[in-house]
Chain A
């Protein structure tokens, strides 16, 4: 899945390391010569001493002297092998890494954050030559870990542990991101876990949106609550929650119309749904093929009603995986599932370790 990103990344990492090492290449030569000189001096001295027919006592005395000398050499070595990389040099060094991340669809804003992390650990900090690659890798890993640093999210458990019934989930996102398909996949999964569900046809705007979710409801044999086209989705959601309460149904899954996050009026409508339906969980549906706009989308939806969890769709269409990093960076909310197909069962658990390993290993 992340094969492509992985390959590219490791290549760029190597370039980065090389550049960093080159930076220190020259002084390294100097040290070698210096060290050689010192050693030569030392051995000459030793020879001289030996010629003088030294006693055992003397030899013992020489031991600490020798140690002193080595540590002194090391000190010099450290001074020269450690090199301070200034900001300008760093910018130049990071450029290749930056391009790879960009090529793999990580949003520029997120790359900046990764860059800042690396900068803090590398710029103007004395670094030993042989530690550079280690530090670069460690920092990048830590950066990614930070970006995906959300609590493990087990949806089924969460619903089962919830005392109050029903557990209400609202799905939202921009047009064509795959809300209805994903909602149906989640309903299918919950039903298999023995949870009773009701679907809500909350997209009363798009042509045939109601028929689409109705098709799914029939296929999965799950009750659907719907209204007319043009009806207030908040009111339909309210009715559905009341229905679920009355019939002791475990989960309400509400679809909403796709909307552009820049459209204030439609975002207000979403806020109203949030106020009226009072969902336990607000799931943002994003696409893994989205580029830099992923950051704007996630940010705006989060600001409008607050994202509790994320499902990224169309994962089968893109092996690059950068959107995963972008979206979770912006919201710091868990990615619950990845959607990867058109069938009811095409839902994959998200595994943070797996993602990081795949990118860096």
Chain B
């Protein structure tokens, strides 16, 4: 995912570094140049790349000696985490109502992100409202209304061309909410009128947080845009969206650096639950192929009940499971989000090169599997090994699938069973320890 190219090329250049006969400036220079290339390819601003890599180089020349060549990984890790703001920077809801205003260029995902955060905060017990001030784009109000409805929060919408007027109209009512999420018109940071509008809104509303929403695919234009928004509204936080594609998010990192604001959340898809608190250390670990156990656990906590989690864990470790389990497991995984994102977060799996397409195909298959399983007898579900050719034919005609698809399901079951057996007896706490050690090395 994010900067994943970096981790592959980093591994390669590390190999190169390990092979080089002398650990001299030349070898380190070459290594640093590889990192530069990867960062540039990830759309990080050119100047920033040089600042960052010159720090890495300086430290590497000083600290990396014969015999501890791997230390360079630690330096890269630390510098990248530093670059991303080190600490997790969550929005602290300190007063009522806590007003969060969202700004950004058109199509960066402001309204969708507001929907996600409305759900995120109301799930955590806050009373949330949304306020629509995008008076320019057609159907922007309608979008916010529908998004808020899905997130089950109240939306304040009034058709008018003057955003300040709309705000004044609802100001009193909004005082009853813990958090107010304010949508604004998408704007080109360089357009004068819109800058004036946003400055005015900023003055009138006095938002507690001003979040700049940036798409992961934005290129070198990120610097100017972020600067423009910062000038007009004083950005206090950044959210990166569309990280579910192939884009690396480097442009958004530039935005963070230019505004001095921390990245608060990252958006990973179109559904309301596709949002994650941004954690620099986890982000970098994931990027370097070390996994992000914290994000996985947090997801688990909010999306999966404790019993479900324990159950899944037990079965995983027991190494014994049948179709019913496979199906349940798939459902649980689905709740956590796209499979590829889950796997990335599991320490150890990040370094496995599993093709992305595989996960997508898997997700499409799950629905078909559900149909097939519905056509199986209880006995078959509990002991899939009894399924023979005759039974396959019956299941396929019963579920409207082909026999090949049923066979495919059986194959998948056998593979999963094998994998479970491999994991059997492995203590998860040991895995964690291993991971922690890796991080601290």
Of B112, B115, B225, the residue contacting A317 (CB under 8 A) is B225
Nearest residue, chain B, Cβ from A103: B46
Residue B105 at the chain A interface, CB threshold 8 Å: yes
**Cβ proximity bits B121-164 to A, threshold 8 Å, 1 near / 0 not:** 00000000000000011111011111100100000000000000
- Report the separation of the CA atoms of residues A78 and B356 in the bound assembly, to the nearest whole angstrom: 56
Max chain B Cβ within 10 angstroms of own Cβ: one of A99, A206, A291, A317: A291
Q: Check A292/B43 contact, CB under 8 A, given A178-B106, A178-B107, A322-B220.
A: yes
Residue B361 at the chain A interface, CB threshold 8 Å: yes
Q: Is the Cβ of B142 less than 8 Å from the Cβ of A211?
A: yes
- Report the separation of the CA atoms of residues A317 and B112 in the bound assembly, to the nearest whole angstrom: 21
Nearest residue, chain A, Cβ from B136: A342
Q: Is the Cβ of A208 less than 8 Å from the Cβ of B139?
A: yes
A243 smallest CB distance to B (angstroms): 23
Residue B57 at the chain A interface, CB threshold 8 Å: no
In the bound complex, residues from chain A placing their C-beta under 8 Å from that of B361 are 264
Residue A30 at the chain B interface, CB threshold 8 Å: no
Residue B41 at the chain A interface, CB threshold 8 Å: yes
Q: Is the Cβ of A108 less than 8 Å from the Cβ of B40?
A: yes
A127 smallest CB distance to B (angstroms): 27
- Report the separation of the CA atoms of residues A293 and B139 in the bound assembly, to the nearest whole angstrom: 29
**Cβ proximity bits A283-326 to B, threshold 8 Å, 1 near / 0 not:** 00001111111101100100000000000001011101011000
Residue B363 at the chain A interface, CB threshold 8 Å: yes
Q: Is the Cβ of B111 less than 8 Å from the Cβ of A296?
A: no
Residue B242 at the chain A interface, CB threshold 8 Å: yes
- Report the separation of the CA atoms of residues A177 and B270 in the bound assembly, to the nearest whole angstrom: 14
Q: Check A176/B251 contact, CB under 8 A, given A265-B363, A289-B221, A318-B221.
A: no
Q: Is the Cβ of A322 less than 8 Å from the Cβ of B138?
A: no
Residue B291 at the chain A interface, CB threshold 8 Å: no
Stretch with Cβ within 8 A of A (4 or more), from B65-73, B79-87, B211-219: B211-219
Q: Check A291/B250 contact, CB under 8 A, given A208-B139, A208-B146.
A: yes
Residue A124 at the chain B interface, CB threshold 8 Å: no
A/B pair count, beta carbons within 8 Å? 157
In the bound complex, residues from chain A placing their C-beta under 8 Å from that of B222 are 289, 291
Interface size bucket, B side? 35 or more
- Report the separation of the CA atoms of residues A294 and B140 in the bound assembly, to the nearest whole angstrom: 26
Q: Is the Cβ of B106 less than 8 Å from the Cβ of A207?
A: no
Q: Is the Cβ of A316 less than 8 Å from the Cβ of B108?
A: no
- Report the separation of the CA atoms of residues A108 and B219 in the bound assembly, to the nearest whole angstrom: 11
Q: Check A212/B364 contact, CB under 8 A, given A261-B245, A291-B220, A293-B246.
A: no
**Cβ proximity bits A32-72 to B, threshold 8 Å, 1 near / 0 not:** 00000000000000000000000000000000000000000
Residue A175 at the chain B interface, CB threshold 8 Å: yes
Q: For the A-B complex with A176-B107, A181-B106, A263-B244 known, give 17 more contacts whose Cβ atoms are closer than 8 Å.
A: A105-B220, A174-B242, A178-B107, A207-B143, A207-B146, A208-B142, A212-B140, A261-B246, A264-B360, A289-B218, A290-B218, A293-B43, A293-B246, A293-B248, A296-B245, A300-B246, A342-B137
Complex A-B: 5 CB contacts under 8 Å: A212-B140, A289-B218, A291-B251, A297-B217, A314-B106
The list of the 5 closest CB pairs from A to B, nearest first, reads: A291-B219, A176-B107, A264-B360, A215-B138, A208-B143
Residues of A within 8 A of B (CB): 99, 102-105, 108, 174-178, 181, 205-209, 211-212, 214-216, 219, 260-265, 268, 287-294, 296-297, 300, 314, 316-318, 320, 322-323, 342
